[in-house]
Chains A and B, each alone.
Chain A
Amino acid sequence: MSTIINADTSNGLKLTSDTSGEIKLQSAGADIATVNSSGITMASGKTLPATSLTTASGSAPSYSARAWVNFNGSGTVAIRDSENVSSITDNGTGNYTMNFTTAMSDANYCAVFGSEYTSNSIAGIVCENTGTTRTASALQVRSGNSSSAGAVNLIAIQIAIFS
């Protein structure tokens, strides 16, 4: 048994008390979470919103990306997947802008780039376009490869933003 705190949809707050040392939180009679001497356990299918990361080992803190995108910059330019990205602007050959859905607090964020190594041993390169001013809401990047000097459309362009 448990002490039950139920937010009932007909009668409001319903309390059921016992001496188990355990509290069960319910909404409309359905279990949401259980609190006991071991801590809090979410009911099946219920989760707490993540507010921080847990470091697997060691004491150095962990920080998650504020935005990331994986897109195809060749042929039909298309976003494969992303978070906190509203769009990619295709500005021309090997020239793209990553637009954030929610802006960073300033423009001093760290951008990390990834690309591909093609079957004919050419390494793709993605970097910030230093010819433009980065902002808190967007970052312009250029893509190229290890065998030519000019900009090149790449199939795999990946960017992560940390701040």
Chain B
Amino acid sequence: MNKRIVYTNDDGTVSVIVLANECGLTVEQIADKDVPAGKEYHIVDAADIPTDRTFRDAWTWE
């Protein structure tokens, strides 16, 4: 799956969920299960996630 699930944590940091191929679940099912309850999330293309992690802890999602 070439998708990622993005959500913002309570402290303002961003978490990015990387999906496991062949786990038998859809991206929506993984979001329902692996995103913390009540968090708003976004399903995005993997290409939308930066590859430079130098300032990874400063990432925000807009």
Contacts and interface: CB of A to CB of B under 8 A. Distances in A.
**A joins B in a complex:** yes
Contact of A90 (B16, B23, B33): B16
A125 interface: no
Interface in B19-42: 19-21, 23-25, 30, 33-34
A77 interface: yes
A89 B56 contact: no
Given A75-B53, A93-B53, A82 B17 contact: no
B34 A91 contact: no
A74 B20 contact: no
Size category of the A interface is 20 to 34
Interface string B29-62: 0100110000000000010010101001100000
Contact of B18 (A75, A87, A93, A137): A87
Interface centre among B15, B19, B20, B25 (most CB of A within 10 A): B20
A82 B23 contact: yes
Given A93-B53, A153-B56, A87 B19 contact: yes
Nearest to A74: B53
A84 B19 CA distance: 12
A91 B53 contact: no
Contacts of A75: 51, 53
A78 B57 contact: no
B14 to A, nearest CB: 8
A90 B34 contact: no
A89 B17 contact: yes
**5 A-B pairs closest in CB distance:** A90-B16, A99-B34, A93-B56, A92-B57, A88-B18
Interface of B: 5, 9, 13, 15-21, 23-25, 30, 33-34, 46, 49, 51, 53, 56-57
12 contacts: A71-B18, A76-B51, A77-B18, A79-B20, A85-B23, A87-B30, A88-B17, A88-B18, A89-B17, A92-B56, A101-B20, A137-B33
Interface of A: 69, 71, 74-79, 82, 84-93, 97, 99, 101, 137-138, 153
